[in-house]
Amino acid sequence: MIGSALLASLAMAALFTPGAHADEVVGNADAGAFKITGGGGSGNDVVLGTTNSRTITVKLTASDNSGVKSADFTLYHGSSLSKADAILKPKEAAPVCTANGTSSVCTKHYTIDPRRSLKNSLAGIWTVYVDIKANDGDYVKADGHTTFFMKRYGRLTVNASPEPVAKGRTLTVTGKLSRANWDTHDYRGYTNQRAYLEFRRPGTDYYESLGYTTTNSTGVATAKVTATADRYWRYEFRGTMTTSAVKATGDFVDVR
């Protein structure tokens, strides 16, 4: 069952024709920039693990040459708002809007608890519905104004061995990629994913890539390299639509 943070009135869905996913624009009203802060990921990504809740701040800029009378937005998961299988419930009954000339910036806050609000099927693309009314009667109703990603938190480990190693010998670098499981509230291996093997030379602050290996059925990545000099070794996972990018902490290997 979806928890309270995602519950919304069923009456809202009844306002829309089933399957409808079209915009209505009358006059000069416009829905502009959409911004999420506090999401824990890059851009507008919202990333959650298995236990800690996250509070995000969402801002929408609306405008019209007559000024904005009201502006609201809804964040949902599904093919359209009328067919949404989850809708984020904000803390506010209505957004707080601050006018600046012909534009208004409208703000809502949401607290998302992965233990109550999420399940694995909700990871991925979420959509933003906007409803803007101008002082002169212009309006915008857009189901699909923009999208953002709700992602499962990724973890990545690394171990290079043997340590120390003789120069010219084979070094085995293993790591495990796992991600938050919102159904079971633990971390499970992420299979069949690219884990990029990287190294850093002592005295530098950047890593160089040697290519990638693919994680196995338990999320383990394994690569073998020739030990030539002291190096820090790590894996990097660059993320998917459902899972956050992550880099392992470098493991130093002394080559003798």
Domain ranges of the chain: 4-152, 154-253
Beta strand 194-200 with 231-237: parallel, antiparallel or unpaired? antiparallel
Instruction: Tell which CATH classification among 3.30.2290.10, 3.30.565.10, 2.60.40.730, 2.60.40.10 matches the domain 154-253.
Output: 2.60.40.730
Using H for helix, E for strand and C for coil, what is the string for 30-97? EEEEEEEECCECCCCCEEECCCCCEEEEEEEEEECCCCEEEEEEEEEECCCHHHCCEECCCCCCCCEE
Q: How high is the pLDDT of residue 16? A: 35
Rounded CA-CA distance 117/149 in Å is: 15
Intrachain domains 4-152 and 154-253 with the same fold: yes
* Closest residue by Cα to residue 151 from 218, 240, 90: 240
Q: How high is the pLDDT of residue 19? A: 38
Low-confidence ranges of the chain (pLDDT < 50): 1-21
Q: How high is the pLDDT of residue 17? A: 35
Could you tell me the CATH superfamily of domain 4-152?
Immunoglobulins (2.60.40.10)
Q: How high is the pLDDT of residue 186? A: 98
Rounded CA-CA distance 168/74 in Å is: 59
Identify whether the C-beta of residue 190 lies closer than 8 Å to the C-beta of residue 178.
yes
Rounded CA-CA distance 195/235 in Å is: 6
Q: How high is the pLDDT of residue 22? A: 58
**CA 153 remoteness from chain centre:** 8
For 10, list phi and psi in degrees, rounded to 5. Answer: -65, -20
Which positions ≥6 away from 52 have C-beta within 8 Å?
Answer: 114
Instruction: Tally Cβ neighbours within 10 Å of residue 101.
Output: 8
Rounded CA-CA distance 109/55 in Å is: 7
Q: How high is the pLDDT of residue 23? A: 80
Q: How high is the pLDDT of residue 230? A: 98
Q: How high is the pLDDT of residue 156? A: 98
